[in-house]
Amino acid sequence: MWSYIGRRLLILIPVIFGVSFLVFGALYIIPGDAVDRMLAESGASAETLARLRDQYGLDDPFLVQYGRFLSQMIRFDLGRSIITDRSVKEQIRNQLPATIELTLSALMIAFLFGVPLGVISAINRGSWADAIGMLIALVGVSMPNFWLGLLLIMAFSLQLGWLPTAGTGGLDHLILPAVTLGFSGIAVIARVTRSSLLEVMSSDFIRTARSKGLRQVTIIVKHGMRNSMASVLTIVGLQFGALLGGSVVVETVFSRQGLGFMAADAIQSLDIILVQGTVMLAALAFVLVNLLVDLSYSLLDPRVRYT
């Protein structure tokens, strides 16, 4: 087990290296830079621009810039934002708690609603309950979260006046963003739960359980769900990545503190150093969460052993 974890962590090194190359390369080939953007806002002189480009090494060749980026990363130094001149690490530290709060809330909503919806659809396969469940799932997968967010704001803030439109604060500020972000997760988890449970329920051991006269609830919960959870957990891990990506839009629509809001702002300002730091962190978090998901398989299925 521990040697497996060790190996997986070692594999992280080339993964992170590859991600860093993709992130840096993608941002490098975008035409224009933050200095152009600054000029548009301030009318700074050509000398000021040249000085800024020199200061941030924006005119250096690709390999020089990439080498500098890698050497900073190795020292856990994510650099300083071009726009605010503040440490990227410090900015991430300030925004991270709000994104974790939102992502975990959304994941919880997705799991708590998605799994029962999938189970209900599976055990009532072909019935109206299945049709409604899968219709909800279809809507959830199809509807862009910025659109859902605006609809929820219009309903619960503008029309009913129950919840605030925007901002970061207590539970009232969390409900709409978490539901918006978690809705597509409900859909995905429900569909996977349904198909996975249907597959398990047609297995021989379920037939055996039935022939032994076990109650339907016991069969579904104890035998069916436990065996179908591996696929659901995999999708939960992948959903974490989708939710991190979705937080860019949701945090912006709800003007909520967080890495997504920060990243969207940084992209608009072409603040490449801040974008790099945020994307690298998100990639690392995604890889680590998937490692945790892989490790959790052994808890659910004793047949899974890591060597």
* Binding residues for other proteins (CB under 8 A): 30-33, 36-46, 48, 51-52, 55, 83-86, 91, 94-95, 150, 153-154, 157-158, 161-168, 170-172, 252-255, 257-258, 261-262, 264-265, 268, 270
Minimal distance in Å, beta carbon 167 to other proteins? 6
Q: Which residues contact 25 (CB under 8 A, 6 or more apart)?
A: 62, 66
**For other proteins, the closer CB: 63 or 160:** 160
From the list 220, 242, 241, the residue with the least C-alpha distance to 288 is: 241
Nearer to other proteins, 43 or 302 (CB): 43
> 151 or 299: whose CB is closer to other proteins?
151
Q: Which is nearer to other proteins, 32 or 302 (CB)?
A: 32
List the beta bridge partners of residue 87. Answer: 80
Answer whether 181's CB lies under 8 Å from 247's CB: yes
CB of 256 to other proteins, least distance (A): 8
**Please, what is the minimum distance in Å from the beta carbon of residue 270 to other proteins?**
6
- Least distance (Å) between residue 77 CB and other proteins: 17
Question: Cβ 84 to other proteins, closest distance in Å?
Answer: 5
Instruction: Identify which of residues 240 and 254 has a Cβ nearer to other proteins in the complex.
Output: 254
In whole angstroms, what is the distance from residue 228 CA to residue 162 CA?
38
CB of 151: closest distance to other proteins in angstroms? Answer: 11
Residue with Cβ nearer other proteins (91 or 121)? 91
- Based on the number of CB atoms within 10 Å of its own CB, is 148 exposed (0-12), middle (13-18) or buried (19 or more)? buried
* Number of neighbours of residue 121 by Cβ within 10 angstroms: 26
Cβ atoms 263, 255 nearer than 8 A? no
* Helix ranges, the chain (H): 2-29, 34-42, 46-55, 62-74, 88-123, 128-142, 145-152, 171-201, 204-211, 216-218, 226-253, 259-268, 272-300
- 272's CB contacts (< 8 A; 6+ apart) are 27, 30, 33, 34, 82
Minimum CB–partner distance for residue 271 and other proteins (Å)? 9
Q: Which is nearer to other proteins, 40 or 217 (CB)?
A: 40
Question: Where does residue 258 fall: left (phi above 0), alpha (psi -120 to 50 degrees), or beta otherwise?
Answer: left
What's phi and psi for 255, nearest 5 deg?
45, 50
Residue 80 forms beta bridges with which residues?
Answer: 87
14 or 170: whose CB is closer to other proteins? 170
Question: Residue 34 region, left (φ>0) first, then alpha (ψ -120 to 50), else beta?
Answer: alpha
- Residue 163 C-beta: closest distance to other proteins, Å: 7
